[in-house]
Amino acid sequence: MMQHLSNIYRLGIKELRGLWHDKVLFLIIIWAFSAGIYTKAIAISSGLHNAPIAFVDEDRSPLSGSIINAFYKPYFKTPEFIVLSDIDPGLDAGIYTFVVDIPPNFERDVLAGKQPDIQVNIDATRMTQAMIGAGYIQNIINGKLLEFVQSSRSGAVLPIELATRVKFNPNLTSTWFSGVMELINIITMLSIILTGAALVREREHGTLEHLLVMPLGAAEIMLAKVWSMGLVVLSAAGLSLYFIVQGLLSVPIAGSIPLFMFGALLHLFSTASIGIFLGTVSRNMPQLGLLMILVILPLQLFSGAVTPRESMPEIVQVIMQVAPTTHFVSLAQAILYRGAGFNTVWPNLLAIIVIGTVFFFIAMARFRKSLAAA
């Protein structure tokens, strides 16, 4: 037993030395965990941010003016004024996502109770922004109209009001979300690539064959790769969480960081096992590269880190139950944002371990076979 552990340890050290030797790779990993996460976190707003909007003000009344003035940064870019004929070209060229057309005599018609139409043109190809922005615009215009009407005549008060509180992220600061989710994406991506490529590289260079004639088992060779690459990714992730996420992005972490890191550790085991599995399936590096794209993209896109899981098709939700990322994203959100403890997240932890173990054993079963085929 001690000998096995010692073998795994020694081989892992060898992997680390190799990694250290490849300075370009090292720099890229550092970039991904620092600048990559930072850039992503501050660039993207999952809420509405700087949406480009234009107005065609055919009314030029105080009311239309007050509506237009209600659109300001950071939700919207400072509104631009255009003429009716510019609406289509502007939307076509993608300059504006929203163009609001306030018809002539709008204020007069409102006061006369004629219920005039106000038209909002939305570039519906711009998914998230179009969707959230449409709601905002509707609420803002309705609010302004209500305000206007109430000030001009004593109107009815809404009998039910909603006192909305947003838990865990009161201002819906999107950096909180995108920073941590990018961290998770990078953890997943790097652990798969590094372990998979480390295996294919050994096979291409003939060193794997050499290891197999020594008193080493396939499991030892695999575990060495898992722990060494896992360690690199885990420490980079820990530093990134401390310095970038908590430090630079000042995201408040609600729950226990050690618990999160423990989850990350288990997650790394399962993604690294997937990486090794892919390494045994592909015969050369180009094949591995393509396979990885095929695997990593769905793992990231459907993990719940990009769009909510609820809105995915049923079948996708079911399939993604066997993806470690799904459980890790859910676990990370629970711990980091909602302050959940072990009692809440243990099913996720368990799922990750089971998935990782299954992939590990499949990879192990394929290990020697893949060598003979190469």
- Which residues ranging from 144 to 203 are in contact with another protein (CB under 8 A)? 145-146, 148-149, 155-170, 172-174, 176-177, 182, 185-186, 189-190, 193-194, 197-198, 201
Q: Which stretch binds another protein (CB under 8 A): 243-251, 270-278, 352-360, 364-372?
A: 364-372
Quick check: 212 binds another protein (CB under 8 A)? yes
- Mask of contacts with another protein, 12-41, x by CB under 8 A? -xx--xx--xx-xx--xx-xx--xx-xxx-
Number of residues that make up the chain: 374
What are the residues whose beta carbons fall under 8 Å from the beta carbon of 160, sequence distance 6 or more? Answer: none
Q: Please state, in angstroms and rounded to a whole number, the distance separating the CA atoms of residues 92 and 94.
A: 5
| 174 or 228: CB nearest another protein | 174
Q: Which two tokens stand for residue 116?
A: 């005039």
Q: Which two tokens stand for residue 241?
A: 């969480």
Task: Judge whether 206 and 374 are in contact, CB under 8 Å.
Answer: no
Q: Which residues ranging from 333 to 362 are in contact with another protein (CB under 8 A)?
A: 333-334, 337-340, 344
Q: Which residues ranging from 44 to 73 are in contact with another protein (CB under 8 A)?
A: 44-52
Least distance (Å) between residue 277 CB and another protein: 15
Quick check: 77 binds another protein (CB under 8 A)? yes
Q: Which residues ranging from 111 to 130 are in contact with another protein (CB under 8 A)?
A: 113, 115-130
Least distance (Å) between residue 225 CB and another protein: 12
Least distance (Å) between residue 311 CB and another protein: 5
Angle between helix 23-31 and helix 2-21 axes, rounded to 10 deg: 90
Quick check: 217 binds another protein (CB under 8 A)? yes
Quick check: 233 binds another protein (CB under 8 A)? no
Number of residues that bind another protein (CB under 8 A): 155
Of 1, 83, 93, 154, the one binding another protein by CB under 8 A: 93
Least distance (Å) between residue 319 CB and another protein: 9
DSSP states of 9-32? HHHHHHHHHHHHH-HHHHHHHHHI
| 50 or 357: CB nearest another protein | 50
Quick check: 258 binds another protein (CB under 8 A)? no
Q: Please state, in angstroms and rounded to a whole number, the distance separating the CA atoms of residues 48 and 273.
A: 39
**How far from 12 is each of 50, 207, 279, 345, CA to CA, in Å?**
48, 15, 17, 30
Least distance (Å) between residue 267 CB and another protein: 17
Of 30, 70, 134, 265, the one binding another protein by CB under 8 A: 134
| 60 or 210: CB nearest another protein | 210
Least distance (Å) between residue 269 CB and another protein: 20
* DSSP-derived pairing of the beta strands 53-57 and 98-102: parallel
Q: Please state, in angstroms and rounded to a whole number, the distance separating the CA atoms of residues 112 and 62.
A: 16
Q: Please state, in angstroms and rounded to a whole number, the distance separating the CA atoms of residues 255 and 231.
A: 22
Least distance (Å) between residue 46 CB and another protein: 4
Q: Which residues ranging from 259 to 318 are in contact with another protein (CB under 8 A)?
A: 282-294, 296-298, 300-302, 304, 306-308, 310-313, 316
| 251 or 266: CB nearest another protein | 251
3-state secondary structure at position 1: coil
Q: Please state, in angstroms and rounded to a whole number, the distance separating the CA atoms of residues 273 and 365.
A: 12
Q: Which stretch binds another protein (CB under 8 A): 93-101, 231-239, 244-252, 262-270?
A: 93-101
Of 84, 131, 318, 365, the one binding another protein by CB under 8 A: 131
DSSP states of 327-338? HHHHHHIIIIIT
Buried b (16+ CB within 10 A) or exposed e, 212-223: eeeebebbbbbb
Q: Which two tokens stand for residue 112?
A: 């006369």
Least distance (Å) between residue 299 CB and another protein: 11
Task: Judge whether 57 and 64 are in contact, CB under 8 Å.
Answer: yes
Of 303, 330, 359, 363, the one binding another protein by CB under 8 A: 330
Smallest Cα–Cα separation from 230: which of 15, 6, 10? 15
Q: Please state, in angstroms and rounded to a whole number, the distance separating the CA atoms of residues 199 and 280.
A: 8
